[in-house]
Amino acid sequence: MKKIGILTSGGDAPGMNAAIRAITKSAMHYGIQTVGIRDGFEGLMKGRFINMKYTDVDNIIQRGGTLLGSARCIEFKDKEARKSAVQNVKDAGIEGLIVIGGDGSFRGAHVLAQEVNIPVIGLPGTIDNDLYGTEATIGYDTALNTIVSAIDNIRDTASSHKRVFFVEVMGRNSGFLALNSAIASGAESVLIPETITDIKALAEQLRTQNKGRRSSIVIVAEGDEEGGAMDIMRKIQPHLEDFRLRTTILGHIQRGGSPSYFDRALATRSGVMAVELLMKGISNKMVGIKADELITVDLKDAIEKHAIPNLEKEDILKKLLTK
Ligand code: F6P
């Protein structure tokens, strides 16, 4: 193998740069040239390729975002539209591809691998942590830390003003960020898409636990079936008319910033492993992590199955409430 391609796709995640660095440097170590593809599958279709130099990836391990750019490319679902990507890969002499992204990006990688007949490896890069088969995705740990630190700030002002805050965190289809940030920030309650939200019961709980206390924080996953934090506040208001309610939507703050130790290390180890898998001719695998060991997961499983957070963690929050 002489040349491999690398792209980042979907929502960016802190640690993607660390992965790009590890792939480029380790490939070079093995005498392989890395081709950086700009803006995900969009760049693949348009032939926006860069021959990566060692120095291109110096001093980027600490940077958030992705140096290659990312995109959500709907067009790539269309076989006709993909033909240009297939041709570009062949013309550039790319013999293996590493895709860093979420399940949507892996779907694109999976079909492309068949159409060009080259091996493809996926690295899980998403703050949502919703990929089946791995304990952690690149970017998740950093996003959690960002959320927890934001909630610490909200707690200061919430208790100064005796307010109940509904804080919306990302997770379109998944409650990983909400559930784990709720535990670590000392939130009183959490609403996630994986469990049923009962607005009336939540109102009663807030009323009981708020006695003699100065603040309550409810973390709302954006994908909760009752809606985001604004919807929840609107729905609960009639039950808590005497309460001071506020909403904060953390938004894209959660996706940026310098990656944590954990994400840098995960991205670096996974990047090197991805290159070595391609060299062995292994294809259609995602690199995951379990008990600090890197593992491989069938790309098909990562695409078709959905990861669910440990729902017992919700009970932990309940066990900390006053009766
Ligand atoms: O990358 C995943 C994610 O952060 C989801 O949690 C969120 O719903 C979505 O991306 C937002 O995407 P965009 O930046 O395209 O609006």
| Ligand 1 centroid from CA 320, angstroms | 31
CA distance 282 to 279: 7
Residue 220 has a pLDDT of 98
The four Cα atoms 173, 177, 183, 189 give a dihedral, to 10 degrees, of -40
Location of structure tokens 């060299």: 279
Q: Which residue has the tokens 């013309």?
A: 91
Percent of the chain's residues with pLDDT above 90 = 96
C-beta separation of 24 from 13 below 8 A = no
Q: Give phi and psi for 228, each to the nearest 5.
A: -80, -175
Q: How far is the CA of 175 from the centre of ligand 1 (A)?
A: 13
Taking the C-alpha atoms of residue 105 and residue 6, their distance in angstroms, rounded to an integer, is 12
Q: pLDDT digits over 176-229, tens only?
A: 999 999 999 999 999 999 999 999 999 999 999 878 889 999 999 999 999 999
Atom of ligand 1 nearest to the CA of 11: 1
Structure tokens at 2: 């002489």
- Pocket probe for ligand 1: among 129, 142, 144, 172, the residue whose CB has the most ligand atoms within 8 Å is 172
Average pLDDT over residues 153-159: 98
Distance 171 CA to ligand 1 centre (A): 7
Q: Residue 6 pairs with which residues in a beta bridge?
A: 36, 98
Q: Beta-carbon neighbour count of residue 79 at 10 Å?
A: 10
Q: 170 CA to middle of ligand 1, Å? A: 7
The predicted structure's pLDDT at residue 321: 86
**Running DSSP on this structure, what letter comes out for residue 194?**
T
One of 39, 103, 128, 224 is an active-site residue; which one? 128
Joined tokens for residue 62? 């600490």
Nearest CA to ligand 1 atom 2: 11
What pLDDT score does 211 carry? 83
Predicted TM-score of the model (pTM): 0.97
What is the pLDDT at residue 276? 98
**Sheet with 216-221: strands ordered across:** 189-191, 216-221, 164-169, 245-249
Q: Encode pLDDT of 256-287 as tens digits.
A: 999 999 999 999 999 999 999 999 999 999 99
Residue 210 pLDDT:
79
Residue whose CA is at the smallest distance from ligand 1 atom 12: 11
| Ligand 1 center to 223 CA (angstroms) | 11
3-state SS, residue 130: coil
Residues in the chain: 323
Does position 2 have pLDDT exceeding 80, yes or no? yes
Residue type, 315: D
Residue 164 has a pLDDT of 97
Tell me the per-residue pLDDT of 27-61, one tens digit each, with 9 for 90 and over. Answer: 999 999 999 999 999 999 999 999 999 999 999 99
In ligand 1, the atom with minimum distance to the C-alpha of 13 is 1
Q: What is the mean pLDDT of residues 107-124?
A: 94
Structure tokens, 199? 């607005």
CB atoms within 10 A of CB 161: 12
Nearest Cα residue to atom 16 of ligand 1 = 11
Span from the CA of 269 to the centroid of ligand 1 (angstroms): 25
SS3 131: strand
CA 177 – CA 4 distance, rounded (Å): 33
What would the mean pLDDT of 231-245 be, rounded to a whole number? 97
Residue 257: partners with Cβ closer than 8 Å, 6 or more residues away: 14, 64, 142, 146
Closest ligand 1 atom, CA of 177? 6
Shortest CA distance to 286 belongs to which of 155, 119, 36, 86?
A: 119
Residues with CB under 6 A from ligand 1: 10-11, 72, 126-128, 170-172, 222, 255
- Name the one residue in this structure whose structure tokens are 């200061």: 156
315 tagged catalytic: no
| Amino acid residing at 158 | A
**Ligand 1 atom at minimal distance to the Cα of residue 171:** 6
Taking a C-beta distance cutoff of 8 angstroms, is the pair 217, 229 a contact?
no
Measured by CA distance, the residue closest to atom 1 of ligand 1 is 11
Phi, psi of 212 (to 5 degrees): 75, 5
User: What is the spatial distance between Cα 213 and Cα 322, in angstroms, rounded to a whole number?
Assistant: 11
